[in-house]
A and B are shown apart, each in its own frame.
Chain A
């Protein structure tokens, strides 16, 4: 066989193998957020628990953890106790739950059965979730006291993961 053809063939095969290894090892649902390092999109949504409107901009000055979830999301059941426990232990951090495509009744039933330690806001048409680039639930955004998104976490958070990401918001 012609030596140059063999070398070109090997280069092409090597490139394909590298691309496949790099691509197949990734989570296809993972989205790198372009919002990291950018100001958090502002929102003011009604709290399902209290009925009052929570404005994100009024929370400037302290770290904010915005957790997108829904009652139809199974991993959210697993994550909820972690968020509630940490919210109770960290009074200087503002936790916010944002629920989209869900009903108030179902959310209230969920919170009554599993406890609540922070406001849960209803994003009725999912516009807030879209502005944050939410690709699935649960998904959590960590915002520093200046109002900048510093981290995004996809999937149910453990206490260690929550605190590691919160560290970035406290720097």
Chain B
């Protein structure tokens, strides 16, 4: 990382920096297995922009590899998970977040399934209660036109 920095300074190369988007790092710089674990964790929360619904951690695309490398670099510099997610969100919008935020229209994603389940539960319970309490009405006596049936009934009902 230090060699890259000096090479960039030598060539006067400047790439957009996370500090311009989300300010200075607010966490502690990570390294070793902790860095790898956190990189994988954040990579599973970011959507690969060139794939169909894949996280950057699961995608073999070059773009996903670049994004993952940037996640690792930001963690090494001490950026926190919310800062890193916010950095990518500022470039790609909420599209890049695999777990949509609980705000605006996106809140429906969280609320609607629970709401539908609750409505369904209430409907089933109320229906079940009605079935339980309603007296079973005796079937109305129908006049028997069939002479055979009338004869059978006479035979059965006569003492």
Contacts and interface: CB of A to CB of B under 8 A. Distances in A.
A41 B12 contact: no
B16 A131 contact: yes
6 contacts: A32-B93, A41-B91, A42-B14, A46-B13, A123-B15, A126-B63
Contact of B49 (A12, A55, A136): A136
A127 B91 contact: no
Contacts of B70: 125, 127, 130
Interface residues of B, number: 27
Interface of A: 5, 8, 12, 28-29, 31-35, 41-46, 53, 55, 100-101, 123, 125-136
B114 interface: no
Given A130-B66, A130-B67, A130-B70, A53 B91 contact: no
Nearest to A102: B62
A133 B66 contact: no
Given A28-B52, A53-B11, A126-B63, A133 B16 contact: no
B50 A136 contact: yes
B90 interface: yes
B94 to A, nearest CB: 8
B150 interface: no
Given A46-B11, A101-B62, A136-B49, A128 B91 contact: no
Given A29-B50, A135-B49, A127 B15 contact: yes
Contacts of B13: 44-46, 53
A32 B95 contact: yes
B92 interface: yes
Contact of A43 (B15, B49, B91): B15
Nearest to B53: A28
Nearest to A101: B62
Given A29-B50, A127-B15, A133-B93, 20 more contacts: A29-B49, A31-B95, A34-B89, A35-B90, A41-B16, A42-B16, A42-B20, A43-B14, A43-B16, A45-B13, A100-B66, A126-B63, A126-B66, A127-B70, A128-B16, A129-B66, A130-B91, A131-B91, A133-B91, A133-B92
Interface of B: 11-16, 20-21, 49-50, 52, 62-63, 66-67, 69-70, 88-93, 95, 116, 119, 123
Contacts of A129: 63, 66
A34 B21 CA distance: 12
A133 B62 CA distance: 14
A29 to B, nearest CB: 7
Nearest to A123: B15
Contacts of B16: 41-43, 127-128, 131-132
